Amino acid sequence: MKLHNFNSGPSILPQSVLTQAAEAVINFNNTGLSLLEIGHRTNWFQEILQEAKDSVKQLMQLDDSYDILFLHGGATTQFMQVPMNLLDTQATAAYCDHGVWGNKAWKEASLFGHVKVVADSSDQQYRYINKGFAIPNDAAYLHITSNNTVEGTQWHTLPETTVPLVADMSSDIFSQPTNFNRFSLIYAGAQKNMGAAGVNLVVIKKDMLGKVARKIPTIMNYQKHIEAGSLMNTPPVFAVYVSMLTLRWIIQEGGLSEMGIRNHRKSSLLYNTIDANPLFEAPVAVEDRSHMNAVFFLKDQSLEAPFLDLCKQEGMIGVKGYRTVGGIRVSMYNALPIESVTSFCELMQFFTQKHG
């Protein structure tokens, strides 16, 4: 049976990336060595890292005021590393709380300095993105989660502010054309839309650094990582390699405009199907709906278990909602073919004929 992988993360990767990554583990570029057996200071790995950085720079159309880092850990590490490097003890950072991840981010930041939560949609179960909220002019930065993976909302218009913007883009990075130069710091765990778990992409405007008085442990210090060219210590070699291959795939497929076209096509198909179906409802504010993760529910909750059973039978993987949210979540990252969404929509219709 053909499987349709709607996992929220780690999630689907292009088949060609998996094949090449598998080959490299056995015999990297016909060297007779595994990728896992080569030193990280070899020319081989330097080239991998360089291509990964060049691809990020090209896809994001970044100017030279940015540095690109591949660092250990998941996005959760960045919840700590960002404030440790950018937020002085007496200073204030503004945070948007639009879901599980944004909430964790500001709580971590409050260990390092003052935090002002300037927008919070928890009053409606995080089903919308606040608009027109005030941001203190003297905030060190404003932190947003560009796509709320768990709740299925996404920023479609950035807040107007002169305060430096910091974004957790873990679940929608490289999913569509974006004005990346609008941000002072971008981070993303690789395992949603750009590779394997174990590495973070951090894109940082150099003028953000050197402004805090605290002593920063070397391994946490962005400036030191920049000086070391992401090679301060052994980087997660395999994870960086998979990101490099995924970035290469994005470029070969036509870049971010092509990714955007595909992703919008998939999400429109799914949301239109949900909206037209009497058994299902998607309560997220329509203008804030995510193109990556669609969160929706069966109006009759007793039908949820039979629907999830049917999905399982039919090879639809990873569609159960996050444990605190419930319902259904369909993740449609770059590598997910539209055929998977079509099949899922057909399954919804089939279920509706049986139960409607």
In the complex, least distance from residue 85 CB atom to ligand PLP, rounded to whole angstroms: 17
How many other C-beta atoms can be found within 10 angstroms of the C-beta atom of residue 160?
A: 7
The one-letter code for the residue type at 331 is S
| 9 binds ligand PLP, rule: CB under 6 A | yes
Q: Which is nearer to ligand PLP, 180 or 307 (CB)?
A: 180
- Angle 130-205-259 from CA coordinates, rounded to 5°: 60
The one-letter code for the residue type at 77 is T
In the complex, least distance from residue 298 CB atom to ligand PLP, rounded to whole angstroms: 24
C-alpha 13 chain-centroid distance: 14
| 118 binds ligand PLP, rule: CB under 6 A | no
Q: Which stretch binds ligand PLP (CB under 6 A): 18-26, 151-159, 167-175, 220-228?
A: 167-175
| 145 binds ligand PLP, rule: CB under 6 A | yes
| 101 binds ligand PLP, rule: CB under 6 A | yes
Q: Which is nearer to ligand PLP, 12 or 347 (CB)?
A: 12
| 192 binds ligand PLP, rule: CB under 6 A | yes
The token pair at 351 is: 């279920």
Q: Which is nearer to ligand PLP, 67 or 168 (CB)?
A: 168
Q: Which stretch binds ligand PLP (CB under 6 A): 31-39, 107-115, 163-171, 214-222?
A: 163-171
Q: Residue 80 phi/psi, 5° resolution?
A: -90, -40
Q: Taking the CA of residue 109 as centre, how many other CA atoms within 13 Å lie in the half-sphere pointing to its CB?
A: 32
Question: What's the burial of 328, exposed, middle or buried (CB within 10 Å: 0-12/13-18/19+)?
Answer: buried
Q: Single out the residue of 103, 153, 154, 171 in contact with ligand PLP (rule: CB under 6 A).
A: 171
Distance CA 276, CA 128 (A): 21
| 175 binds ligand PLP, rule: CB under 6 A | no
Residues in contact with ligand PLP, total (CB under 6 A)?
12
How many other C-beta atoms can be found within 10 angstroms of the C-beta atom of residue 240?
A: 25
| 11 binds ligand PLP, rule: CB under 6 A | no
Q: Which is nearer to ligand PLP, 169 or 208 (CB)?
A: 169
Closest CA to 78 of 156, 5, 143: 143
Q: Single out the residue of 149, 153, 154, 263 in contact with ligand PLP (rule: CB under 6 A).
A: 149
Distance CA 75, CA 82 (A): 10
Task: Note if 211 is an active site residue.
Answer: no
| 189 binds ligand PLP, rule: CB under 6 A | yes
Task: Note if 275 is an active site residue.
Answer: no
In the complex, least distance from residue 318 CB atom to ligand PLP, rounded to whole angstroms: 13
The one-letter code for the residue type at 354 is K
C-alpha 3 chain-centroid distance: 23
Q: Which CA distances in Å does 142 have to 3, 87, 160, 176, 306?
A: 40, 11, 11, 22, 43
Distance CA 215, CA 350 (A): 60
Residues 316-345 vs ligand PLP: string with x where CB under 6 A? ------------------------------
Task: Note if 101 is an active site residue.
Answer: yes
Distance CA 278, CA 283 (A): 14
The token pair at 342 is: 């079509």
Residues 39-78 vs ligand PLP: string with x where CB under 6 A? -----------------------------------xxx--
Residue in 44, 67, 101, 249 annotated catalytic: 101
Active site (catalytic) residues: 101, 168, 192
Contacting positions for ligand PLP (CB under 6 A): 9, 74-76, 101, 145, 149, 168, 170-171, 189, 192
